[in-house]
Amino acid sequence: MMMLSEMIHCRKTTRQFEKTALDSADLTKIETFARALTPLLAHIKTDFQIIDSSLVKNMLPWKTPHYIAIFSEEKENFGVNVGFMFQQLDLYVQSLGLGCYWFGLGKLAYRQDIENMKFVVLMGVGHPKNSAIRSTSGFRRKRLEEISDQRDERLEPARLAPSGKNAQPWFFTHEDDVIHCYCKPKGMFSQAASPSQINQIDIGCALAHLYVTNPNTFRFHIFPNPPSKDGCAYIGSFQI
């Protein structure tokens, strides 16, 4: 089994699945790992349910055997926290040789509220029809220079993160040994001041890759007066 930090360089979104359900041993592994995810913002309560496809409204041409429905308290930056936590699960699922994808457009077919938490997003999981991994050359991503104020190889794991519509809305600036993280939304009509829920999850995914690569040194803080950056919303700062 590959390590999660290695998965960053070969993972990919799987959209074509075998019809067969996962066996209970795999479902138990996923459930156990998901219960132990590291949060970015530990004060925000989250939860999840592993459900089958009959509970999801899916207009997509492909069928997915299982979904993970993710819930969170609606506190500031809850989307970033969800992305940070469940991108760790994306890497784990793929390290088992299984396929998965973030399904930002997915909706539950049932009404579900759990203890003041709202439904946030779905992830699909199952046996992939084709290989669940690829080589680094298979990634379509911005260049390192486009996502940071200086070329910094330590940001390579963030560069490779998945994002809704592959928008890659992250931007990083450096100040001594601190790196500030911003959301730089695409398109003139996007609200830089308040990143969309999907953009928040995207940024969480990028931060998760930095955490997984630097698990012992990654520290995240939200500064009250961060440097402002035109057209960007400040998310938080970290050391790695």
Ligand X SMILES: Cc1cc2nc3c(=O)[nH]c(=O)nc-3n(C[C@H](O)[C@H](O)[C@H](O)COP(=O)(O)O)c2cc1C
> Cβ of residue 94: shortest distance to ligand X, in angstroms?
10
Asked if 164 touches ligand X (CB under 6 A), the answer is yes
> Cβ of residue 183: shortest distance to ligand X, in angstroms?
13
Q: Binding ligand X by CB under 6 A: which of 150, 166, 194, 217? A: 166
Q: Are 173 and 227 in contact (CB under 8 A)?
A: yes
Q: For helices 78-95 and 24-35, what crossing angle results, to 10°?
A: 140
Site string for ligand X, 84-123 (x = CB under 6 A): -----------------xxxxx------------------
Taking Cα atoms as reference points, which of 175, 174, 144, 138 lies closest to residue 157? 144
Q: What is the DSSP track for 192-236?
A: SSS--HHHHHHHHHHHHHHHHHSTTT-EEE--SSPPP-TT-EEEE
Give the number of other Cβ atoms within 10 Å of residue 118's Cβ: 12
CA dihedral 55→57→60→61, nearest 10 degrees, is: 60
Q: Binding ligand X by CB under 6 A: which of 2, 5, 9, 13? A: 13
Distance CA 62, CA 173 (A): 39
> Cβ of residue 79: shortest distance to ligand X, in angstroms?
8
**CB closer to ligand X, 13 vs 112:** 13
Asked if 12 touches ligand X (CB under 6 A), the answer is yes
3-state helix, strand, coil in the chain (%, to 5): 30, 25, 45
Site string for ligand X, 135-154 (x = CB under 6 A): ----x---------------
Asked if 4 touches ligand X (CB under 6 A), the answer is no
What residues have CB less than 8 Å from 92, skipping those under 6 apart?
A: 4, 7, 30, 33
3 state SS of 67 = strand
**CB closer to ligand X, 79 vs 226:** 79
Residues binding ligand X: number (CB under 6 A):
18
**CB closer to ligand X, 201 vs 235:** 201
* Footprint (CB under 6 A) of ligand X, residues 176-235: 198, 201-202, 205
**CB closer to ligand X, 163 vs 237:** 163
Binding site for ligand X (CB under 6 A): 12-13, 15, 101-105, 139, 162-166, 198, 201-202, 205
